[in-house]
Every structure is written in C-alpha cells, then in structure tokens.
Chains A and B, each alone.
Chain A
C-alpha cells in the first residue's frame, strides 16, 4: 500500500516537473510568444547605395508598439527555388522598432528578391517577409533654358530602356520633407522616360546650396528610387537672430550697455560711500580724545 503510494507520488512529481519545464521554457512553446508585424520597404539612392527599411510592431496594451532590439537576418532569396538563400547580414531594430539595412552592392541584380527573417527570438514568433525588386535608375541633371534652371530627369530600366507613364516626384529637400517644385505634386514621364520641371527663383539654402530630389515613390515593382541633384544657385540663408546682440533677453555675457553702466555706477557710488562710512566707524574707534 505504502509502496504504491510512493510510486504514485514519484510519477506525480515527475509529471509536475515535466509540466513546469514545458511552461517555463518559452523556447519550446510558440504559443506564449507575441506575433510581430513586420513591413519592409526597399529604397535606392542613385550612385550611393540601396537599403531596406524594416519596421517591426506588435500589439501591446495601448495599440501597436514598436518592437525594440529584435534581431533580423536578411537573405537574398531566389524565387525559383533553385539556389538556396544567401545570407546578406543581420541587423537589430532600434528603440523605435526600425532598422535600416544597407544592401551590399554585390547582391543587387536586375530582379532581386530579399527575404527578411525573424527567427529564434525569445519574445517574438518566427516570421519572414519577402520583397522582390526590379532594378531601375533615374538620371537627373540641371538644364538652364532661357535663363531659367530646370530639372531634367529620366527613368531608365536596368538595361537603359526609357520607362514611360511613371510618376516621378520632383522636390527640393527641406529639413523635414521635400517641397514640390514646379507647382505639381508629381510629373509623368513621357515616351522618352523624361520629365522637365522649371525651378522657381527664390529658394533658400545654406550658402545657396539646394539639394533637389527626383523620387520614384514607393513603387511595388521598383521600390523607392531617389536621385539627388546638388546645386548652389539658391539664395544664401542669412541668420537674422538677435542671438549675438546685446538684448534684454540675452545671457549675462550680452547685457545691454545701458544696464551694465548705469546700475553699476549707482551701486559703486553708493557702496563707496558706505565703505567710507564704515571706515568712519573705525576712525571713531581709533580716535584718542
């Protein structure tokens, strides 16, 4: 009777241990992990590099929250399935749940498939996102026609074929966004794959530098392609702040002269007299008769 009770207890304990080990070890159970929603966006900066913007979010208490410090592995994938995925690199999302992975140029082809994988994370389920991008180029330059500067841009395929009927944004790069140039939100390429946009006078820039951008924005096939044109025919920015002047709202090193002179003269005058009067006390103390 006792022996069977002991045996029963032993198996019960064993069962408990197994149950606890399963519930404690999150690496095993996928059910406890959160699911992250991952979006990727491909961008290419002409004559520089291409990159993938990875944004990871998960549902939290107050709506969607950024998924911080999540490790992603990026592969170059082959949709035909013939060649295995080639690992391009790894990257971690920052505190905003974002990561920018610069694609090493040797992996870029005419049509490239990128696979972003989240695996073996302690908090998040395994997931992956795939994006296929056809490589296109934008050639952009400044042309002066009748003393007016114009932006000329051509959208070309990887084989240098002009691409018509595509929308290009032509903008002047400003601190938080691009200001549309020429009055239209975007311009459609003609049969030569080209757009020509006049630049109005009066744009300002530091030392007259203006950075124009011709952008193929968030195309499904081509991603985002940005061509930068740096010019310097803008109006130079002149700082008009009163920061270096002596004003009533300046720090003590830039006190207005009136305040430096008059109050100090008054104070020095009064305190000089007071010092003399204190000295008089000393003279009274020292006087003999």
Chain B
C-alpha cells in the first residue's frame, strides 16, 4: 500500500514537473552552447511531443558566449564592453591588482592594472584611481602598429596577437595612458593552468618574450558569462562591467545598474577626453568619501611596486 502510494505520488510529480519544453533542448542547444564536457552523463528531459530524451549533460551545463564562427579578431557579436570605475569607493585595497596579476600570470615588475595616487593640483582633493587599458574607440596604439598585431574588435575590446608582434614598441610610445608593458626577457611564468592553444583572448597565457602585453578586459571570463578578475576581486565594488548596448553594468557583488542613468546621476567622465581617444572606461568622481578614506588608503600605497614577487 505504502509502495503504491509512493509510486503514484512519484508519478504525479513526475508528470507535473516533466511538462518541460524542450525548448529546453531546442533553445539551449540552439543558443550557442559549446560544451567542454567529455562526460557521458545524460539528463532526462521531455520533448514537446512527450518523448523522453537523454541529453548529454555537458550540453545543458556550460554557458558560452561564443558563436559557432567565433573569430578572436572580431569578438562577441552585437556587444560593446565598457567598464565603470567608481573613484568614490576606491580605498586602494589593491585586491584588483593582485587578482589581475595572479589571473594573468604576470611576472614582470609592472602591473597591467595600476592604482594611481592622484592629485591634480595642491588645492584639489587627492584620490586613488585604478587605471587599466581604456580599450579606446579610436585607439592610438592600433593606429601605429605596423603589423596589425594589436587590433580593435567589433565588441570594442583591443587585444594583442603575441604571435605576430614584432616588438617595435610603437604602440607603447603612442599610448597616452601608459598601460602597456613589454616582456623584456623570457617571462618565468612556471606552469600555466589551462595551457591550451594560444589565443589573443587570454593575454599572458602565455606571455611571449619580446612582445607587448596589456589588460585584455578578460574575454576568457566574459565567454563564461563571468566578470573580469578585477571586478570580481574588489571588496568595495569600485568596478562595474557590462555591455553598453544593453545599457547595463554589473559590479563585483552582482548588482546591476543602468549605465546611462549611472553616468548621468554621478556625472561620469573619461580620462584625457581632450585627446580624442574615446575610451571605454568611465570614471565616477571621488565625491562623498569618508574624511580619512584617502589616508587609510595610503597604508597600502607603494610608489615603487605593483607586482608582488614571491620571496
């Protein structure tokens, strides 16, 4: 009796739950999934006409932004990536810098993301300003590259092809934000996790001697639907990252904001706007901070070091 009751209960809930569309199977498989899964696990799902199918679990698991014909030089279609940096929140915790250094296996003495101690004049307030590649819409670095080794993608990200770069460093001379670094010697990166085929999508994996590196806006994170390392690591939610066409940016805590409203309310600006580079990074002014916020941040400040070396 118990058994029968349980059986019928089960059946009831089965049908109740299994009215799944495989729009599931249809949609998920159609929406650009490429699975890394080599496991043979399958999931039992029901099609629209009531058949039960075993779908490889891998195809229902991983999310990927890459279309079938993904080209690293073109990027993710119909997107324009932007970053918002809230200077009012930055306390020079440097977690962003550390996460970026670690995530990209940076071994030189110059980090790709640096938090500058800024003070434009003696009368104006000092503040901390995290600065990485601005992924300009009119990038001076891309203009001068003789071999098309650094390039601007359709989704706005500026990347470097370390297999083509000839190391002339013209891009470094042209960049007014000084965010590019050069591999002056063989980078001692040790064993790099995920050593797959080289792609410009993951700068620093590996770094190549005699070529240029810089912040890549983490396409290797974006493809998984995850935020760049710096955005995730910041304990004060200084960074927010997103797609300008979606008019939304998300910070490390997962809060999503309407970009246009944020820039309007907080009077966002860009660095060196007058140079006409049209950066993709917006800064929110350092207003409304605590009295001693800047002083506290000085504890962490090191004028001569941006990459911590293991002793």
Contacts and interface: CB of A to CB of B under 8 A. Distances in A.
Given A176-B250, A239-B154, A92 B74 contact: no
Interface string A241-265: 1111001110110000000000000
B79 A175 contact: yes
A201 interface: no
Interface string B118-133: 0000000000000000
B20 A176 contact: no
Interface stretch (A21-29, A32-40, A104-112, A190-198): A104-112
Contact of A108 (B13, B19, B152, B155): B13
Nearest to A185: B255
A243 B139 contact: no
B142 interface: yes
Interface in A126-154: 135
Contacts of B34: none
B88 interface: no
B289 interface: no
Residue among B18, B193, B248, B258 having the largest count of chain A Cβ atoms under 10 Å: B248
Interface string B124-159: 000000000000011100110000100111111000
Given A108-B13, A243-B154, A174 B242 contact: yes
A106 B44 contact: yes
B138 A249 contact: yes
Contact of B17 (A89, A105, A239, A251): A105
A97 B73 CA distance: 31
Contacts of B41: 89-91
B276 to A, nearest CB: 12
B14 interface: yes
A241 B254 contact: no
B9 interface: yes
Nearest to B226: A176
A102 B60 contact: yes
A174 B243 contact: yes
Interface residues of A, number: 45
Interface string A109-132: 110000000000000000000000
A105 B246 contact: no
A90 to B, nearest CB: 8
Interface string A185-212: 0000000000000000011111000000
A180 B256 contact: yes
A58 interface: no
A206 B41 CA distance: 33
A48 to B, nearest CB: 5
Contact of B78 (A91, A177, A202, A206): A206
B283 interface: no
A242 B225 CA distance: 25
B245 A177 contact: no
A243 B20 contact: no
B164 to A, nearest CB: 11
A108 B139 CA distance: 54
A47 B20 contact: yes
Contact of A48 (B24, B142, B152, B227): B24
B39 interface: yes
Nearest to A62: B102
B245 A237 contact: yes
Interface in A213-247: 237-244, 247
Nearest to A242: B137
29 contacts: A48-B21, A49-B45, A49-B60, A92-B39, A104-B43, A105-B17, A109-B13, A135-B13, A158-B13, A158-B16, A171-B256, A174-B243, A175-B225, A176-B241, A176-B248, A176-B256, A178-B256, A179-B257, A202-B247, A203-B247, A204-B247, A239-B78, A239-B154, A242-B137, A243-B153, A244-B154, A249-B139, A249-B152, A252-B148
Given A176-B242, A179-B248, 13 more contacts: A48-B24, A91-B41, A105-B20, A108-B17, A175-B250, A179-B257, A202-B247, A237-B245, A239-B154, A239-B245, A242-B137, A243-B152, A244-B154
Q: Which 6 A-B residue pairings sit nearest by Cβ, starting from the closest?
A: A176-B250, A177-B256, A174-B248, A243-B154, A177-B250, A249-B142
Interface of B: 9-10, 13-14, 16-21, 24, 39, 41, 43-46, 57, 60-61, 65, 73-74, 77-80, 137-139, 142-143, 148, 151-156, 193-194, 222, 225-227, 241-243, 245-250, 254-258
